[in-house]
Structure 1
Amino acid sequence: MKLLRHLALLGYEDGVLSKSISHLFNLQTLNIGSHNLHGIGRLANLHTLPPIHLCKCGCFFNIRELRNMNKVRKLCIYGLCTVSSIRDAKEAHLHSKKNLEILELDFNGRITCEHAKRAVTNKATTTVSGSQLLESFRPHCQSLKVLRIKNLNHGNYPSWLNNASFWNLTELELYDCQSHHFPTLGDLPALKLLMISNMDHVEHIGQEFSSHDQRFSSLVSLHFEHMYRLSEWSEVEYGEFPRLETLTIWRAIALRSLPSVPFLFLRKFTLTECGNLVAFPPSATLQELYIWDCESLKELPALPSLWSLHVISCPSLVTFGHFPLLTVLHLTDPLKDEILTRLVNSHKMLEELSVSSDTKTSICLEPQSLPSLRRLQLICPNLQHCDALASLTSLKILNIHFCSQLDVPDSLPSQLENCILPESL
């Protein structure tokens, strides 16, 4: 089978790669679940190969075997913390792989074979720091589009990470890196998606995150997740992040402040489990806002472009500005009764309303304030009164779940296009 181009071996997760496969010199795609890829380095024409798992004893794969695999398009390497030689890393020759588009480097190490266990037991093994390895793993700058760095066990980032010569890099992920700061990333000219998560030692995001030149000129989507010690994000200058449309901050429980300078093109903001945040910054362009479990949040500013708002578990919210274009509103307890009533009845363009509460016994709907409401959903087990239902002249879809104590006018279902009532569930 010397002319074979594509090979898939299903159900082969725990097997050992046959030595004969290394003679298939024209093989381009290898799809196999086995971790044991020893000897695969002869397949210099491979475009696609399985994830590589390194081991202290080297019985799975030696990083040097990548030396001549210059046609590969995607590399996922796990267990880099077990590499004991910078020379081995340099001999991988990532800088020569002109077709490499996706690179994932994971420094997490799991000993999964008996040989490795004996190696650790019988003799001391030495490894090099993650930052030293990363310096040696500099990829080819013109081809790389996606870079993921995970479980970096050192506080320093490689000097090449913010190099503007990586002009095709569009996606970057940093996960569980043991650093007290972020790398400077603003000079990457094509970067569109940036995901940063589980950075447990970062307490402040400042000017060093951006740069003095590009300032994230192409970034469209920015995600911070599981940032438990992050308390402040500041020093953002006007015009920075000029194309940012989507911003997500999830589980930043210590976060107290957000940048006061508005992002000029921000469209969607998701803010989840940020219990110490008190105020939300203004935005002239924001269209969708999702706020969940922000216990200290007290106020929302006027948001002139907002059309969709989800507020879940914000018990301290006491004031909000004007949302003239609001058409979709979802509210979930705990939320003050007064705030719920004002939010519901202050937006005449509202078309879709959902209220979920385990405590509310009455919801006040003012028909004159809801002339455009077409869809209403109530999930309120203790709800007894919602007297204005029959007066909502534009209502077409009504979903009432678990509201067994609520009396619904008999004439109402016949006026609707779709109706779900408690007794029909």
Structure 2
Amino acid sequence: MLRSCDAKDALSLFDNLIEINFSGCTECEEVPTLGHLPCLKFLVIEGMDKVTCIGVKFYTMYSDDSYRNALFPALRKLKLKNMNCLVEWQDVMEVTAARVVFPCLEELTIKDCPQLMSAPCHFQSLNKLKIGGVCSTIFEKICSKLTTRTSLDISSVSELAFLPKQIICTSLRSLKIEKCGELSQIPEALHNLSSLETLEVKGCPKLMSFPSIQAAASLLRHLAISCGDEVLPTGLQFCTSVQDLSINDCPNLILIPDLREFRSLTQLEISGCPNLKIIPDIGEVRSLTQVDIFKCQKLTRLPQWLWDCRLNSLSIGGFCEELDVFSILSSMTSLHASLKRLCLYGWTQLDSIPDEIQHFTAIYKLSIKEFDGMETLPEWLGNISSLQWLQLYRCKNLVYLPTKQAIQHLSCANYSKTDGRRRKKMELSLSIIANNIQRRFFHIPIIQKLCGYLVGAMQEGKELKCINEQKSLGSNLVAN
């Protein structure tokens, strides 16, 4: 930060800057003065751990109120993230003679600022607000005067019991709410959102009912619902333009309405519905490419339409143990040549993966989850020449992998988290995900084989990126 007596003149050197990103400046105690920059359009302030206040100096260095031009005159996008000690973000219009602040700001992101207690509310052009990891007081303050928003993304807002009515405006095209543990009510005004194209409500366990969504039926394209009600929102059956439908974590849901008119559907997920017994008919949906139906413990049969789809991605399992779901894989002939991704959910007693997997000749990613009774992976996995990615998750008794020769062709792209960011990792030798395997278990044969594969990869000139010591099988083991 400039602190010299001629700082005002020196700051003019940056007048042509369009984008500024402050990230990980952990020793900085103040945010520099930026409000006068005439060309600044994009600003990110992230991880400045010692900053407790964003005050007047953020906007202007003219303490005598002589600077009356617009502040941040060209700024379009502002992101404020991971500011763990930030308590106050001052509204400059309340403490100076400034009359125009953020006149062009269209997108505002505030994430993971848990101690923030005050913030501005004058954002006259704001269209998109993404806010999370803050308290409900800040959320309500920022939203109190918004009138032009088209997109609202809310996540992990503490103590948020209900959504203020004023945030539901008719211009909204996208509304996403996630991980708001205290949320119990959504305003009835939701039924007036005739422009809504995306509606997602996830991870809100206290939300027991949903307003009607019939008004949005004609334009709604993406719909994700999670709630505690026994039935889904009124009007769902009229949302025939939906392309992506997700119904998950609905513990009391017993019925899903007829979906036969959903002719534009490309992705369907029904999961975490333990009281659901029947999957509804969806008719002839030729556009459907991805189906995920799992963890519906009372489901006793799969829908007949699954046999007629040409999917490229399928996740199934975790049903009533009387349903022998995996034996019917061989009869799904329409999928044998088209399916590229298959995810199977097992249960405690299952001691092997189904032989029927061999019928899928195009599969490149296979995920096997919660096969607790399985100790050995079959050697025939090596016969699936298209298979590139093998993922095992919570197979807690797994001891033996196939021979190196059987799975030596496993090589693909993978995404693994490093320092909180998702980075693409190429040349994956093997991805094994399980639970609670510590370093002291390295004597187990499967661990020895994994180490052997990784050493081999390193000998071929590839650098070993990471092995999670706490969960050696609980991480992606990546050779780069």
TM-score w.r.t. the length of structure 2 is 0.56
Question: Paired residue for 1:341?
Answer: 327
Question: Paired residue for 1:138?
Answer: 145
Counterparts of 2:246 and 2:278, CA distance in 1: 16
Q: Shift of the alpha carbon at 1:250?
A: 3.3
Is 1:241 the counterpart of 2:239 in the alignment? Answer: yes
Q: Shift of the alpha carbon at 1:263?
A: 5.2
Question: Paired residue for 1:412?
Answer: none
Q: Deviations over 1:72-128 (max 9, x none)?
A: 222234569834xxxx86xx323xx22x2321344724xxxxxxxxxxxxxxxxx96
Counterparts of 1:201 and 1:298, CA distance in 2: 28
Which of 180, 187, 197 does residue 184 from structure 2 map onto? 180
Counterparts of 1:149 and 1:361, CA distance in 2: 40
Counterparts of 1:209 and 1:346, CA distance in 2: 37
Alignment of 1:99-110 (within 5 A): 100-106=126-132, 108-109=134-135
Question: Paired residue for 2:266?
Answer: 267
CA contact (8 A) 1:129 1:153 kept: no
Q: Deviations over 1:297-339 (max 9, x none)?
A: 1122321752234312224463xxxxxxxxxxxxxxxxx3xx4
CA contact (8 A) 2:45 2:80 kept: no
Q: Deviations over 1:153-179 (max 9, x none)?
A: 354433344432x1xx43221231634
Question: Paired residue for 1:49?
Answer: 78
TM-score w.r.t. the length of structure 1 is 0.63
Alignment of 1:292-331 (within 5 A): 292-303=294-305, 305-308=308-311, 309-316=314-321, 318=323
Judge which range, 265-274 or 275-284, deviates more: 265-274
Alignment of 1:145-184 (within 5 A): 145-150=150-155, 151=157, 153-164=159-170, 166=171, 169-175=172-178, 176=180, 178-183=182-187, 184=189
Question: Paired residue for 1:414?
Answer: none
Per the alignment, do residues 351 and 248 of structure 1 end up closer, same or farther by CA in structure 2, a change over 3 Å counting? same
Q: Deviations over 1:360-384 (max 9, x none)?
A: 498479x9xx7xx634799876588
Counterparts of 2:37 and 2:322, CA distance in 1: 66
Which of 344, 361, 364 does residue 374 from structure 1 map onto? 361
Counterparts of 2:105 and 2:194, CA distance in 1: 24
Secondary structure of the residue aligned to 1:289 is: strand
Per the alignment, do residues 250 and 65 of structure 1 end up closer, same or farther by CA in structure 2, a change over 3 Å counting? farther
Structure 1: segments with no counterpart, 5+ residues: 110-126, 319-335, 409-421
CA RMSD, Structure 1 to Structure 2 (Å): 4.6
Identity %: 14
Q: Shift of the alpha carbon at 1:139?
A: 2.0
CA contact (8 A) 2:34 2:59 kept: no
Structure 2: segments with no counterpart, 5+ residues: 1-10, 61-70, 95-99, 369-373, 391-399, 407-445, 454-480
Which of 166, 186, 201 does residue 206 from structure 2 map onto? 201
Greater C-alpha radius of gyration: 1
Question: Paired residue for 1:37?
Answer: 54
Counterparts of 2:233 and 2:79, CA distance in 1: 43
Which of 1, 5, 15 does residue 28 from structure 2 map onto? 15
Q: Shift of the alpha carbon at 1:246?
A: 0.9
Q: Shift of the alpha carbon at 1:38?
A: 1.5
Q: Shift of the alpha carbon at 1:283?
A: 0.7
> What letter corresponds to residue 169 of structure 2 in structure 1?
N
Secondary structure of the residue aligned to 1:51 is: strand
Number of aligned positions between the proteins: 340
Q: Shift of the alpha carbon at 1:199?
A: 1.6
